[in-house]
Amino acid sequence: MSTIYVSSTFADLRAYRKALSLAIRRLGHMDIAMEYYIAEDARPLDRCIRDAGSCDLYVGVAARRYGFCPPGEQRSITELEFRAASVAGIDCLWFLLAEDAQWPEDQVEHGVGADKLAALRAELSERYLCGFFTVPDELAAIASAAIVRNLDLGRAPFDAMREHRLMKSWRSANALPAERVRATQALVNMGSPRYVAAIKELLLTADAQNDFDGIARYLGELERLAASRRELIPIFLDLLEHDDDERRFFAVFQLGELALRGAALAPEIIDALLKRTADPAPRVREQVAHALGKLLPGYRVRAGVQQALERLVKDKSAGVREQAESSLRGSWDDATVRKAISNMSLTNEQREAVFLLQEHGFHLGAVDEEEVVMYRQPRERRRSSESVAITPDGKANGENVHSFILLAETPPRRREAER
């Protein structure tokens, strides 16, 4: 059993800390957190720093508050705990609230605290492969996976000289394939920051036309190193904004392939794709038209996608116009969608709910490990919200799916009368 120090602000993350504490105990470890200090005689700051510097693993969580700075200190207690763990050579895992997550305004810090938080998040993003979360259960899940990798799978201690030797083997053109595979596995196991940086660089410089297999392999390695797929978002955004049109072309192509497999594309990724409809390179615009055509029908409901394709139909490039027209004509018929759903990793309850909602006009929008999102075109007699998330237990927006459909199909005036 290992001791894991949980560090974060308190009032805004109470539910998240509770979920994380439960997850840690279920893994058979002991969490050390401020909740357990009430009966202690030592000053909280002294005790916090002492415990953070003597635990087996440090887990930091940050949302939108920097936190309290003790008298005479320029840093918050959370950051002081982090610094103490770092100085002691303790492995640190960090989990940050996703940029697109909804968060209560009264729990958002402004002014000097916000500036300090931004600086800390920037440092963490540069030094660590941080995990990103939106809800307590997601935090518990990604933290559990990271803790298991770090403690229970016996991750190798970091050794700069060993990392250097492994990187030489990995980069060597004369190394045998088996030697490169062993080097790769060892670098992943030790969480090598140089290996992460090298993969990112390869993604930014890879030949988009001739190295698809290599690029797919690099993305796979990055996912193995990352605590959450959200960490791929900044890389794709960098690729989409790259000065070289080859990189932009690759990024658009790869996103189209992810969409074709039913992957959930983050809102910022969709927005970045839509901006590429004005890309100066015709081949990139043509690939954007192709990628948008691969999006599942539910994405067409989202503002901008259909309009973007309609704009590309009028593009000055014949190739772009032809591809945009093809994407507008192309559609996922019911049989194709049902086949795609059958091949997805869903629970039986989820699959049945999806099929039922499909029969009532909802289209598949996105699929991830947590939920399936479906959409449909709004109509006057339907309620204004036309999106629904189906969780693994088969519930639609937290309701029994049959109750959800009944409510969705009931005209607003009738619902008001029945009240």
Residue 38, exposed/middle/buried by CB under 10 A (0-12, 13-18, 19+)? exposed
pLDDT for residue 409 is more than 80: no
Per 3-state DSSP, the chain is made up of helix, strand and coil in percentages (nearest 5) of: 60, 10, 35
* Arithmetic mean of pLDDT over the chain: 77
Q: What integer is the mean pLDDT of 172-196?
A: 75
- Distance (Å) of CA 265 to CA 82, 269, 279: 32, 6, 20
Per DSSP bridges, beta strands 30-32 and 3-7 are parallel
Per DSSP bridges, beta strands 372-375 and 131-133 are unpaired
Contact 10, 38 (CB under 8 A): no
| Model pLDDT for residues 281-320, shown as the tens digit of each residue | 999 999 999 888 877 655 555 557 878 888 999 999 999 9
Strand order across the beta sheet in which 30-32 lies:
30-32, 3-7, 57-62, 92-97, 131-133
CATH 3.40.50.10140 domain residues, the chain: 3-152
Q: Which of 59-68, 118-127, 150-159, 198-207 has the lowest mean pLDDT?
A: 150-159
Fold for 3-152, please state it. Rossmann fold (3.40.50)
Cα–Cα distance for residue pair 237/272, rounded to 1 Å: 7
| Model pLDDT for residues 24-46, shown as the tens digit of each residue | 887 778 888 876 665 443 447 88
Q: Directed axis angle between helix 232-240 and helix 267-275, to 10°? A: 10
Per DSSP bridges, beta strands 372-375 and 363-367 are antiparallel
pTM of the model: 0.42
Name the residue among 18, 25, 22, 80 with its Cα closest to residue 48: 80
In the three-class reduction of DSSP (H, G, I as helix; E, B as strand; rest coil), residue 34 is classed as helix
| Model pLDDT for residues 221-232, shown as the tens digit of each residue | 665 555 444 446
Burial code of 384-415, b = ≥16 C-beta within 10 A, e = fewer?
eebebebbeebbbeeeebeebbeebeeeeeee
Cα–Cα distance for residue pair 384/80, rounded to 1 Å: 47
- At residue 94, the pLDDT reads 93
